[in-house]
Structure 1
Amino acid sequence: MHTHSLEPWSHGHVFLGDRHDRHARRTWAVVALTAVTMVVEIAGGTWFGSMALVADGWHMSTHAAALGIAALAYRFARRHAEDPRFTFGTGKFGDLAAFASAIILGLVALLIGAESVDRLLHPAPIGFGQAIPIAILGLAVNLASVWLLHDDHDDHGHHGHDHGGHSHGGHGGHGHGGHDTNFRAAYIHVLADALTSVLAIAALLGGRYLGLAWLDPAMGLVGTVVILAWSWSLLRTAGLVLLDARPSPAATAEIRARLETDGDRVSDLHLWQVGPGHHAAVIALVSDNPQPPAHYKARLAGLRDLSHVTIEVQPCPGHA
């Protein structure tokens, strides 16, 4: 066997989103902002004897923890991007972090709901004058965080890759911005916090000036329902990626349409996400006139998000 270098046919497996580092920096900034506010609120509440301030501080701590998970996920994914232990790179680590984050978000929502039901059944006096400024401070911090994390997370930015190909497996196509589930998870956390602050301010103003004390726990229940819905959406999105679910029927249909010509037939097709804006495909073809894998990969050139392609070709029975 010849001992030629495999360099022309080998390629990397770095499937990080094209905004990975930008998202990481912004997430760390929000972690710092949230942690500082949390410490100030808990210390201030303890000093001034305000349970509302202490409670809000501990509430923010849960979001700080979840945001910390998101930030560490970016760091881990970047640090181990070239680690051969991770067969398809570390692009899905963000989805793992988002899944954990969604569970934390759901637990926070349930705790808010339980506290709200308890307050409805056993009303407690509320220090409106003290609580309103706290809620406004919390909203200001949350809005700053929302601004930092409001990236075009539904936008598919363009970012090309060309790693060549090799005789059996190989790689072709282009990577795009895609959905960064980890960044979306961080965004939903600060959005949930902002929502609870808005609902709290509305309830406190209603309680102080209209005497509607029941508004406070009622708004808590509204927040619970909305945040649980966001949590479920995030769990579902991240879970499907972690389980290598097919990205969309349209994506596989497009691959089949490009490959099934001149009597060639796709006998097996696996398509899954390996990172934000990066999909991998393993395809088995049956052909009357088998061509090298590079021939079929050329048919898939330019397909959106298709970053890693492995093709196996078998001659049609009777056409050996």
Structure 2
Amino acid sequence: MDLTKKYTHSHQFSSVSDKNERRTWYVLLLTLVTMSVEVIAGTIYGSMALLADGWHMGTHAAAFCITLFTYRYARKHLHSGKFSYGTGKVGVLGGYTSAIGLGIVALIMVAESVHRLFSPLEIQFTQAIMVAVIGLIVNVASMFILGHEHHHHHHGDEHDDHGHEHGDHHHGHHHEHQHGHGHHGHDHNLKAAYLHVLADALTSLLAITALLVGKYVGWTWLDPVMGIVGAVVITKWAYGLMQQTNPILLDASISQGYQEKVVAEIEKDGLTTVTDLHIWKISADHYAASIVVVTPSKDQADDYKQALQKFGKLSHLTIEVNYC
């Protein structure tokens, strides 16, 4: 038997999705075409509204470029061995970066809205409504292209959604384990791109409402107020995305309850004691565990591995056994 093959395994826990990358490319091209048309039309017809929205589209194009760069970087280094646990966190970092970008956009929206609230500008309602409608159509189309199956729900730590075979390390020996994934799991990178177009669609919808009311009722103050409302909602989305990605990037521990269940399983013989335990995320969907046990029994690391197979979240398991 080839012991090297048996006891060596991959440390790759990335979920690089070609489908999601293609979706982002389509949305980027749609955004660039719309941006070019608006900038050219705005220049020819002297429309500041068209020009402003065209350049605004450019900020979203930049965000999509971050998303695409992240996918390409993760794929390039997929098997390079440059990263201890693969490139699983690259997409998470891309999502976190885009969340910061969303937050900055929200701050700019608030500043501009407050300025316009106290220093109103003359609004060309018909032209502005046309631009907002174009923006809404483009962003709704982009939302459908990106898809929405990954963006409505959150999985808590206690939801066991992965079934993996587990490997272990015992005094320096490497044991093979396989990772079979039926889906790509949480793609924070794609979610960030989706939130960008969702935020822009919300902004366009609020703008259309405010402009229609302003045109027919005369409430011009509603336009900047809607801008502030949109900024608050976008800030909430950005903060939510940061809350999801931040713990992964900072190697936050899994929930206390999950750790207690792992300890209880190992110590159920009444002889073994867990003296050190770390369980943390190494990608958006995978956890690593490092466990040190002290026992007077003759149990081997493989015995503890078998006992922990029910904990499907533990994709990479390292166990040190000390006999006492």
The TM-score, its normalising length taken from structure 1, stands at 0.90
* Count of aligned residue pairs for this structure pair: 313
Contact 1:173–1:305, Cα closer than 8 Å, also in 2: no
Give the distance between the partners of 2:178 and 2:264, measured in 1 at CA: 16
Given that 1:268 and 1:283 are in contact with CA atoms closer than 8 Å, whether structure 2 keeps it comes out as yes
- The match for 2:226 is 219
Moved more, 251-260 or 149-158: 149-158
Alignment of 1:1-320 (within 5 A): 5-17=3-15, 20-149=17-146, 150-153=148-151, 154=153, 161-162=164-165, 167=170, 168-170=173-175, 172=177, 177-262=184-269, 263-315=271-323, 319=324
The CA RMSD over aligned residues, in Å, is 2.3
Once the 2 structures are TM-superposed, how far is the Cα of residue 70 of structure 1 from its aligned partner? 1.2
For 1:171 and 1:248, the matched residues in 2 are separated by 27
Distance 1:303 1:71 in 2: 34
Letter in 2 for 1:304: G
Q: Distance in 1 between matches of 2:55 and 2:83?
A: 36
Bigger shift: residues 159-168 or 141-150: 159-168
2:288–2:316 contact (8 Å) kept in structure 1 = yes
Change (3 A) 1:24 1:260: farther
Query: What one-letter code is carried by the residue in structure 2 that aligns with 1:152?
Result: H
1:67 is paired with a residue of what secondary structure? helix
Letter in 2 for 1:119: R
Could you tell me which amino acid in structure 2 is paired with residue 95 of structure 1?
V
Q: Which moved more, 1:34-43 or 1:190-199?
A: 34-43
Q: Is the 8 A contact 1:170 1:310 kept in 2?
A: no
Deviations 1:120-156 (A, max 9, x none): 1111111111111111111111111112221234377
Amino acid corresponding to residue 208 of structure 1 in structure 2: K
| Residues in 2 aligned to 1:160 and 1:21: alpha-carbon distance in whole angstroms | 23
Q: Is the 8 A contact 1:175 1:277 kept in 2?
A: no
Shift of residue 253 of structure 1? 2.8
Q: Distance in 1 between matches of 2:176 and 2:49?
A: 56
Q: Which 10-residue stretch deviates more, 201-210 or 272-281? A: 272-281
5+ residue gaps in structure 1? none
- Aligned residues: percent identity? 49
CA distance, structure 2, for counterparts of residue 95 and residue 180 of structure 1: 8
TM-aligned CA distance change 1:213 to 1:171, over 3 Å: farther
Do the aligned partners of residues 101 and 152 (structure 1) sit closer, same or farther apart at CA in structure 2, a change above 3 Å counting?
Answer: closer
Secondary structure of the 2:309 match is: coil
Write out per-residue CA displacement over residues 172-217 of structure 1, whole angstroms, 9 at most, x where no aligned residue.
5856554222222112111111110111111111111111111111
**Residues in 1 aligned to 2:258 and 2:161: alpha-carbon distance in whole angstroms:** 17
Out of 164-173 and 22-31, give the one that drifted further: 164-173
> 1:290 deviation in Å?
4.5
Distance 1:24 1:158 in 2: 24
Do the aligned residues in 2 keep the contact of 1:33 with 1:141 (CA within 8 Å)? Answer: yes
Deviations 1:256-299 (A, max 9, x none): 23222212222111111112321111111121214221111111
CA distance in 1, matches of 2:28, 2:298: 55
The residue matched to 1:260 in structure 2 has which SS? helix
Alpha-carbon distance between aligned partners in 1 of 2:180 and 2:290, rounded to the nearest angstrom: 17
* Partner amino acid, structure 2, of 1:255: V
Matched to 1:137, the amino acid is I
Partner AA of 1:219 in structure 2 = M
